[in-house]
Structures are given as structure tokens and as C-alpha cells.
Amino acid sequence: MSTGINPHSYPLFELPATALSRLPEPGRARDLAAIAATAYGAPTAANVVPAPGTQILLPRIASLVRPGRAFVLGPTYQEHARAAAIAGHQVVEAHSFEQLLDADLAVVVNPNNPDGRVVQRSDLLELAASLRLRGGLLVVDEAFMDVGPQSQSLAGDVEQGGIVVLRSFGKFYGLAGIRLGFALAHPDIAGRLEEELGPWSVAVPSLEYGIKALSDSDWQREMRITLAHAAHRLDQAFARVGVIVTGGTSLFRHVDIPDAAGLFKALGREGILVRRFADRPTQLRCGLPGTELEWRRLDIALGDWAQDRQQAKGAVG
């Protein structure tokens, strides 16, 4: 439960032996780009850059802008700040959206990890227009937009220029080991990123799983329903012990409580790991249990934690 990866992965299927013995075919990469454009709402395949995960793209995207000031809307996924620093930028964690207007490179994770915060598309487009006038760049990491409000995605707006949208394959499809992600951008930017990655950047198994899963609209629709029900069930489990969920998506939930350290330890005693934050000691991010056994272990751990708290209060009283 320490990740935001879907525990109900896309069904595995057998690949031919040549998937491991031959180099990726350029035509299959083009097929994947076209299917990803449709799945994510990008204008055309020319706007899509498939990559072996989005992580490898971060410093390359940050290098599209001359070193200056990179503002990352926080608190959020820390690799964006690290990538910007590698590219030579002075990195600032922005505590308000308005601060991003002063950036040369602005980064927004939308929906945000770990609290699920959503920035409105209209606000992002205004920011992108302002940055574009100064030669700046807006990066919007939509790693969790598969379970977010699709109307707020900037995937369809990348032709305007000055915008790069990142989409992750592994999280929603539960196949993080496939290492597949996408940058969506104006063809000029997309072309530069493709040159940086070079040929054969996406392995054959990743191409084939991406093509099949991104085309499977029935699975996508049913999985969104399944995840929404699971997130609601997790909220109810927390509510039974007096913990109110403060944010998240249907792939992870965010809680902010004074005894986060105690809850973290109680869950750990049952072999359940959740994400804690050194700089935000009252907050935890919790992924979804994948089996009924894991749900039962969660209920036991939460019950033990609640009982310990009651006993501690009684001892003080």
C-alpha cells in the first residue's frame, strides 16, 4: 500500500519469442503513438513520444529551457525538482499557484501526488500562455489523470506550444515493471525528445502491452469503476476508526492526522507499508489493498491502532 500502482493489473498475455530476440520495429512504435494519442486525447500521433517510463524524460524535458528558475508546485513528487537541478535550473518549491508565473520552467503534477489536488485546466492554460511569451515551458505531470477528471487534462492543448504533458502507463494499468510512459507536446518539442531518446527506446514487450491495453476501452471503463469502489471502501475503513481522508485519487488516499507516526507503526506490525513524509510528519499516503486478505489485515491493524489510542487516553485520564 505504499505505492499508487493499481493492484489489479491489466491481464497478462503471452508474447512471441521474437519479442525478446528482435529489435523493436519502428512501425510498432508509430502504432503505439497513434493509439496513445487517441487514448489520452492528444491531437495526433506526432504529438506523442513513447518512452521507457516518464522518469527518463524528466531531465531531458527540463533541458528544453535554458537554465533559469524552475518552480515546482509543492508538496509533490520530488523527482521533478531533482531533474530540474540536473538540467542546471535554480529550483524553488512553489507554495501557491501564482508563484509559477515567475518561472522559466514550471512544473505541476495534476492530479497531485500525494494529496490529489487538481489545478483547473483554464488556470494552467493561462499560465502556459504567460510562460510562452517569455520562452518558458509548462510541464504538467498527469501520471494519475487516468483516474482523474479528464476534462482538466491538457493533452488536447499541446499544439499551442510551451506545454509538455506526461502520462504514465504503469500506474493505472498496474504494470510498473513494463516501464512505459509518454510525453505529449508540440511536434517541434516531441521531435527534440525523440532525438534525445534515440532509436529502439521502448522494448518490444512494452510496445505490445501498451498497444493492447491502451486500446482496451472496456477494461479501462470497468477498472475505473472497480478502483472508485475500492477507494470508497478504504475511506470507510479509515472512518470507522475516526480517520478522515483528506484527499487523493482512486489509486491512493491521503490522510493528515496528529498520530500519523503511530498509525504508520501499527500498519507496519501487520506487514502493511504506507508512504510517510519526513517533512510532513502528520501525513500519510495509502495505496489500495489488492486482495481480501490484505483488506482483513488492514482492518486488524486499524482496529489495533484505535484500541491503543483509547487505552492511552484512558491511562492519561
For 261-304, write each residue's pLDDT tens digit.
999 999 999 999 999 998 999 999 999 999 999 999 999 999 99
* The amino acid at 90: Q
Q: What percent of the chain has pLDDT over 90?
A: 94
Domain extent at residue 277: 218-316
State the pLDDT at residue 2: 85
pLDDT at residue 312, as a whole number? 72
User: For the packed helices 292-316 and 217-239, what is the interaxial angle rounded to 10 degrees?
Assistant: 20
pLDDT at 315: 65
Q: What is the pLDDT of residues 78-96, one digit of tens each?
A: 999 999 999 999 999 999 9
The pLDDT of residue 311 is 79
Confidence of residue 143 (pLDDT cuts 50, 70, 90): very high
Confidence check: pLDDT of 316 > 80: no
Query: Cβ(139)–Cβ(61) under 8 Å?
Result: yes
Peptide bond into 111 cis (omega under 30): yes
Please report where in the chains the cell 505529449 appears, as a residue: 184
Buried b / exposed e over 212-248, threshold 16 CB at 10 Å, is ebbbbeeebeebeeebeebbeebbebbeebebebebb
Does 8 reside within a domain? Answer: no
User: Residue 172's domain is classified under what CATH number?
Assistant: 3.40.640.10
The residue type at 42:
A
Same domain, 187 and 225: no
* Range scoring the smallest mean pLDDT among 118-122, 201-205, 303-307: 303-307
Q: Is residue 260 in some structural domain?
A: yes
Q: Are residues 84 and 188 in the same domain?
A: yes
Q: Are residues 250 and 189 in the same domain?
A: no
- Domain shared by 29 and 134, yes or no: yes
Residue 303 lies inside a defined structural domain of this protein: yes
Q: Are 44 and 192 found together in one domain?
A: yes
How far is Cα 276 from Cα 265, in angstroms, rounded to an integer?
11
Within-domain flag for 125? yes
- Separation of alpha carbons 13 and 21, rounded Å: 18
Q: Is 6 helix (H, G, I), strand (E, B) or coil?
A: coil
**Residue 91, beta-bridge partner list:** 70
Mean pLDDT taken over the chain: 96
| Distance separating alpha carbons of residues 141 and 153, to the nearest angstrom | 10
Question: Do 260 and 171 belong together in one domain?
Answer: no
CATH number at residue 305: 3.90.1150.10
- As a whole number, mean pLDDT of residues 243-253 equals 97
Q: Same structural domain for residues 99 and 176?
A: yes
Count of CA atoms in the C-beta half-sphere (13 A) of 104: 16
72: pLDDT strictly greater than 90: yes
Residue with cell 509543492: 74
Per-residue confidence band for 163, with pLDDT thresholds at 50, 70 and 90: very high
Grid coordinates belonging to 286: 495509502
| Average pLDDT value for residue range 218-234 | 98
Residue 317 has pLDDT above 70, yes or no: no
- The residue with cell 535550473 is 89
> 187: cis peptide before it, omega within 30°?
no
Question: How does pLDDT run across 36-64, given as a tens digit for each residue?
Answer: 999 999 999 999 999 999 999 999 999 99
At 313, the pLDDT band (50, 70, 90 cuts) reads confident
- For residue 230, tell me if it sits in a domain: yes
Task: Report the distance separating Cα 129 and Cα 122, nearest Å.
Answer: 11
Counting every residue, how long is the chain?
Answer: 317
Q: Which amino acid is at 312?
A: A
